[in-house]
Amino acid sequence: MGEFSLELNDEQLQLQEWVHQFAEDVIRPAAEEWDEREEFPFPIVEQAAEIGLYSWEFLANGMLGDKTGLTIPVAIEELFWGDAGIGMAIMGSGLAASGIAAAGTQEQLMEWVPQCYGEPGNLALGAFCASEPDAGSDVAGYRTRAVYDEATDEWVLDGTKAWITNGGLADVHVVVAVVDPELKSRGHASFVVPPNTPGLSQGQKYKKHGIRASHTAEVVLDGVRVPGSCLLGGKEKLDERLARVREGKPGNAQAAMQTFEATRPAVGAQAVGVARAAYEYALDYAKERQAFGRPIIMNQGISFMLADMATEIDAARMLVWRAAWLSKQQGFRNAEGSMAKLKAGRVATWVTERAIQILGGYGYVREYPVERWHRDAKIHDIFEGTEQIQQLVISRAISGMRIE
């Protein structure tokens, strides 16, 4: 195992500074407007593409060229410090890219991941479509079907996906579908639906509590036909896997678990970014705001709150960094990725609520950013595995038992 270090290397420090500048100069000033408009912030994402922040190369360099695992969490924390909704608009295509990387061949990766981003002046978006109206946490309940048409070597997809980031707006949709209903969650496969494929449409667009600059919508698949080459991983591998499952042989559940554990620190880093934004703002405010003839921070009731906020944020970041480092060492033992995501989500929700308290009435109005950060924070307890699903994963890992 490589050494774990809390010290960022020169490249990571430069990257941190670079993303921070973009977050401060471009994202922060735009945050309120796009939250109110509740629309995908194309001009801001375009600017991110122009500097190379919204690009598949950025993701690839951060993931492949880094042994410490800390590069991506460091960048994401700064981005989400700027604004979580715009941050999600910039990171959302990464969900599709990760889905392709997790299940696809090298060839599929090279073909489709760049198409999830496009290029400056001609942006593209990706969407990862797993959740359904009647099945979010319970993935065994997915109903979207994929049926193979041997005559044409095509797959036909039918169903409705819910809560999809960039859903319907995206150029490339990665869809998880049921190929063998009898095998429940082990009978799934992932497919790429290429741009402009007939039969794929956007259903309702959700009006959300937070991260409102990120587009979230239903995706309806009605007789969508994709070529056999769009099955991620290929048919031979799928047939082999399904045969193994039917024979009752252990599948690759362990590998899938490692993949999830590896992506969770990134979500934790988002939450840390939102929490830090609110904490910094509240700290400054508490030093300025006068009540009873002195700055409110002179009261322990306020300063102790800020002390706890600072401590909790650091604790969350430590768990995120530990998990990110472990993911590079293939070293997860006790669901450390889930621990990081669970803790960071809770910390963001709690810290942003405390920040409202510290600002008093000013915390509660839209003229100040704190209420927005509180709305934005909550999503981190919900998506990419709810609080309770993280607890389930952790309790199974620590007990070795199949806790339901």
What is the contact surface with ligand FAD in residues (CB under 6 A)? 95, 128-131, 136-138, 163-165, 208, 211, 216, 379, 382-384, 386, 388-389, 392
Least distance (Å) between residue 101 CB and ligand FAD: 16
Residue 363 burial by CB count (10 A; 0-12/13-18/19+): exposed, middle or buried? buried
Residue nearest to ligand FAD (CB): 136
Pick 15 or 164: Cβ nearer ligand FAD: 164
- Please report the DSSP string for 65-82 in residue order: S-SSS-HHHHHHHHHHHH
* Cβ atoms of residues 88 and 213 within 8 Å: yes
As a whole number of Å, the end-to-end CA separation of the chain is: 33
Q: How many helices, marked H, and strands, marked E, lie in the chain? A: 13, 11
Shortest distance (Å) from residue 386 CB to ligand FAD: 3
Q: Is 57 a catalytic residue?
A: no
Ramachandran region, residue 385 (left: φ > 0; alpha: ψ -120 to 50; beta: rest): left
Instruction: Name the one residue in this structure whose structure tokens are 């109206």.
Output: 133
Which of 150, 384, 387, 404 is the catalytic position?
384
CB of 326 to ligand FAD, least distance (A): 23
Q: Which is nearer to ligand FAD, 371 or 384 (CB)?
A: 384
- Name which of 260 and 383 has its Cβ closer to ligand FAD: 383
| Cβ burial 265-286 (10 Å sphere, 16+ → b, else e) | bbbbbbbbbbbbbbbebbbebb
Work out how close the CB of 308 gets to ligand FAD at its nearest, in angstroms, rounded to a whole number: 25
Q: In terms of CB distance, is 189 or 211 closer to ligand FAD?
A: 211
Comparison of 51 and 392: residue with beta carbon closer to ligand FAD = 392
Nearer to ligand FAD, 75 or 88 (CB): 88
**HEC states along 234-303?**
CHHHHHHHHHHHHCCCCCCHHHHHHHHHHHHHHHHHHHHHHHHHHHHHHHHHHHHCEECCEEHHHCHHHH
Q: State in angstroms the smallest separation of the CB of 361 from ligand FAD.
A: 28
**CB 214 → ligand FAD: shortest distance, Å?**
7
- Copy the structure tokens of residue 345: 């989500």
Catalytic residue list = 384
